[in-house]
Amino acid sequence: MKKVIVFGSLNMDLTIEADRVPYGGETLPGRNFLSNPGGKGANQAVAVSKAGVRTHLVGSVGADVFGDLLLARVASYGVQCDEVILREGVGTGIAMICRVDGDNRILLSAGANHSLSAADVKEALDRLAEPGDVFLTQMECDYATTCAAIQDAHGRGMYVVVNVAPPRDLPQDVWSCIDLVCVNETECAAICGVLPEDDGTLRQALDLLIKRGVGCAVVTLGAGGSAAREGTRLYRAPAARVNAVDTTASGDTYLGVLCAAYVNGMPMEDAMRRASAAAGITASRVGAQRAIPTAAEVDAFMREA
C-alpha cells in the first residue's frame, strides 16, 4: 500500500480571539487563549493519518518543552515521527494567531523548521521513500531545502504535491517536478498575479498554474469551494455548509484528505468533495490538529449533507 511522506513544519500555535487586529502601538484586549499543536506540515500529516493512510513526517523541532509536546501529540494521531529531528540550540517553530470573525492572521517564527538541510531530507527519503508514494510539502521550511526536496522526490518517482503556502514563486525546474499544486485565493494571486474572484479569473489562474509545468492545479476558494484543472479537464467542488468558528488548519485538512484520497484511488472530483467536507468540519471547530476530523466523521458528515 502506498504511503504519504510529509516534509514540513511543526509549530506551537498560540492563538487569541479578538474583535479586530490591533493597530501599531495599541494593546487590544482579547479572549479565549489557546495553545495547541500546529504547523502546516504537521497539520497536513495529521489530516492524512486521520483519513486512515500511513503517514510519515520529516521535520524538526527544538529541544525544548514545545518540541516534546508537538512530537508527542502528532505521534498520538498515528503519524510516524522517526524522521523528526530534535535540534539543540534552536527554538521550536511558533505561530502567533489572531482569530477575528472566524478567520485568522498568523505571525510565524520558523525556528527549527529552517534548520533542515537538503541532505537531511534526502537521508530521510533514502530510508522511507518508494516509487509511487506521495510526497507532500509546503513552504514553511527553508526555501532551498524545500526546492531540493521537491526535485529529489520527483527523481524517486514519487507523486509530488506542493501547497505553496506561504506563497513563494519557484524556479521553473522545480515547478516541472510537481504533480499537483494547491493554493488558496490569496496565495494564487501572489504567485500568478490573478485573484480568482469569478469564473473568468479562476480559469485564467488555473491556466497560468498549469503553464508552469505542473500536472494538476487546485485552487481553494473558501466559501466558494475549490476548483482544479488537470490537463484539459476542469473540476469544481462546493464548500461544505458549516458555521466557521476558526479556519486554522482547514486548508491543511483539504490537502491531507486530498492526498489520502489519491492513495485510495479516488477520482479527482470525489476527492475534492471529500476534502472540502473535511476542511469544513475543521473550520467549524477551534484549534488546528485537534479540529481535523477522522475518516468516520467525514463519512457521517457527507451522509447527512
Give the binding site for ligand RIB (CB under 6 A): 9, 11, 13, 38-40, 43, 95, 106, 140, 248-249, 251-252, 288
Neighbour-count burial for 253-288, b at 16+ CB within 10 Å, e otherwise: bbbbbbbbbbbeebebeebbbbbbbbbbbbbbbbbb
Nearer Cβ to ligand RIB (10/170)? 10
Q: Least Å distance between CB 182 and ligand RIB?
A: 12
Nearer Cβ to ligand RIB (203/290)? 290
Q: Least Å distance between CB 116 and ligand RIB?
A: 16
Catalytic residue from among 126, 252, 270, 299: 252
Residue 120 catalytic?
no
Indicate the residue whose CB is closest to ligand RIB. 38
Q: Least Å distance between CB 292 and ligand RIB?
A: 11
Alpha helix (H) residue ranges in 264-305: 268-283, 295-304
Q: Give the containing element (helix H, strand E) for 61.
A: strand 55-62
Q: Give the containing element (helix H, strand E) for 122.
A: helix 118-128
Nearer Cβ to ligand RIB (124/139)? 139
List C-alpha distances in Å: 64 to 108, 112, 125, 140, 151: 18, 11, 26, 20, 32
Nearer Cβ to ligand RIB (40/50)? 40
Nearer Cβ to ligand RIB (104/151)? 104
Task: For 121, list phi and psi in degrees, rounded to 5.
Answer: -70, -40
**How far apart are alpha carbons 291 and 272 in whole angstroms?**
19
Q: Least Å distance between CB 231 and ligand RIB?
A: 29
Residue 138 DSSP class: -
Q: Least Å distance between CB 66 and ligand RIB?
A: 12
Task: Centre a 10 Å sphere on the Cβ of residue 4 and count the other Cβ atoms it contains.
Answer: 28
What positions carry a catalytic annotation? 252
